[in-house]
Structure 1
């Protein structure tokens, strides 16, 4: 097999490469681990992806290993929506490690700066970017009530009525939304982009993103919504190069998610949604 070169500033990634095979297998392992919840086949596919990457290209192997470590860490727990205090602490710790471990290995083990978290870019948001935030809220208002209530997916989240329960749901939804961008965009998408064209890297991360959200609770016809959302987030990050901006987009969407879930469980509350 021909070696796959890592892209540089003057050398764009090839449109077709053998590296797509192990990268595709790695993304497919997320479907098994989180979507199908078949741990053993998922781990076998993950190991096969790394083994093939090692044969095809060592640089690709190093980067896929970081993504694989994140997936492996996440797979040690269930990410189903559970806002009990012990589970929130456990899930918060595991998800943090899934980002922190690849970052530390990249920074201190590989001694590169591939994984970055661009919070302050120095660039002001332009008018289309500001309007996009408004559009995101509008789309969430139209799409999310229909999805959650008509599909019954809201039942994958606990009913909350007490103030502390509502607060925990709010914090949990927001935390996972921020983490999504840290791992799927700043880690997975960024590392895939070193070896593949942006559109291929975006598809690879979106498969993993969508698989994780399936286990989290976005089931039924949820992937028809979450997969395009993942692609849009990757594309938005490519355009803006701003973690802050994609996090704001995600949190605005998740704010509507939170409100819809509360309403779906207690219909007399927040009766403001069309469905």
Structure 2
């Protein structure tokens, strides 16, 4: 083998390592940004990931910049649940921007259609999809009360009482659930999937997803639930290519979570959970 050939092989090998490393660093920046709430450390990890991408793959860099932009926008506010007018407005504006900015840059600056929100697939749900949704309902009903009420995770949400606060909670929980799929699946996963095999892209989006959920309030042993959930949402989206279906799955969980939170602070309301450990 000539020196030129050997040198080229080494460069290719280094590039093959550096590409996933750069994406892993960008995704891992979500751990200090959201999971640990150490913003400076998170920004440092994010910048290193982008620099590595700039050195080895400019096309990958363009898409990691979009993910990074979304993460920085989200990190500009606290994710602590807040049902006040100001809190709900802050969540709406910030989370909308985290999806809208990457989408706008991708569509009108990069002139590409990587980020899409597939609504009208024209396909009926399959037996698998109906069966999985039924499993979600049963599993969520049995498992989620054990987690939220047994671990005390419900205390990460503000105490609610009265119709107004309950209505605000319903809108907030389901609004964030819808946004989760627009950002983590339709944006982060879709951008990573353009450069990496499914399993790598799915693992990387799950890191960001679970870190966000941790700061949002899914703590204690919550990652035992949120990690498989994030991975399954990526898998379901890859399989169905249907945003309405993954949103339906997610909001099914969220409706159960909403009912648990109402019951947690108002024990006489939504008293339908047979696995309530209290």
Please, what TM-score do these two structures have when normalized by structure 2? Answer: 0.93
Contact 2:23 2:64 in 1 (8 A): yes
Partner Cα distance (1:19, 1:84) in 2? 43
Partner Cα distance (1:222, 1:116) in 2? 30
Q: What residue number does 2:59 align with?
A: 59
Partner Cα distance (2:51, 2:151) in 1? 40
Larger fraction in helix: 2
Q: What residue number does 1:238 align with?
A: 238
Q: What residue number does 2:112 align with?
A: 112
Q: What residue number does 2:3 align with?
A: none
What secondary structure sits across from 1:220 in the alignment?
Answer: coil
Once the two structures are superposed, the pairs formed by residues 198-209 of structure 1 within 5 Å of their partners are: 198-209=198-209
TM-aligned CA deviation for residue 265 of structure 1: 1.4
What secondary structure sits across from 2:270 in the alignment?
Answer: coil
What secondary structure sits across from 2:167 in the alignment?
Answer: helix
Provide Cα deviations, 1:167-193, integer angstroms capped at 9, x if missing partner.
000000000000000000000000111
What secondary structure sits across from 1:106 in the alignment?
Answer: helix
Q: Larger deviation: 88-97 or 122-131?
A: 122-131
Contact 1:115 1:186 in 2 (8 A): yes
Q: Larger deviation: 128-137 or 44-53?
A: 128-137
TM-aligned CA deviation for residue 247 of structure 1: 0.3
Q: Give runs of ≥4 in structure 1 deviating > 2 Å.
A: 1-5
Aligned length: 265
What secondary structure sits across from 1:18 in the alignment?
Answer: helix
Give structure 1 stretches of 5+ with no counterpart.
Answer: 6-15
Partner Cα distance (1:187, 1:230) in 2? 14
Contact 1:4 1:57 in 2 (8 A): no
TM-aligned CA deviation for residue 134 of structure 1: 1.4
Q: What residue number does 2:32 align with?
A: 32
Partner Cα distance (1:84, 1:56) in 2? 46
Contact 2:118 2:241 in 1 (8 A): yes
Please, what TM-score do these two structures have when normalized by structure 1? Answer: 0.94
Q: What residue number does 2:217 align with?
A: 217
Once the two structures are superposed, the pairs formed by residues 16-31 of structure 1 within 5 Å of their partners are: 17-31=17-31
Contact 1:3 1:56 in 2 (8 A): no
Q: Larger deviation: 95-104 or 76-85?
A: 76-85
TM-aligned CA deviation for residue 18 of structure 1: 2.5
Q: What residue number does 1:8 align with?
A: none
Q: What residue number does 1:195 align with?
A: 195
Give structure 2 stretches of 5+ with no counterpart.
Answer: 1-10
Q: What residue number does 1:263 align with?
A: 263
What secondary structure sits across from 1:2 in the alignment?
Answer: helix
What secondary structure sits across from 2:12 in the alignment?
Answer: coil
1:134 to 2:134 alignment:
yes
Computing the radius of gyration over CA atoms, which structure comes out larger, 1 or 2?
2
Contact 2:18 2:52 in 1 (8 A): no
Partner Cα distance (1:245, 1:234) in 2? 12
Partner Cα distance (2:200, 2:40) in 1? 27
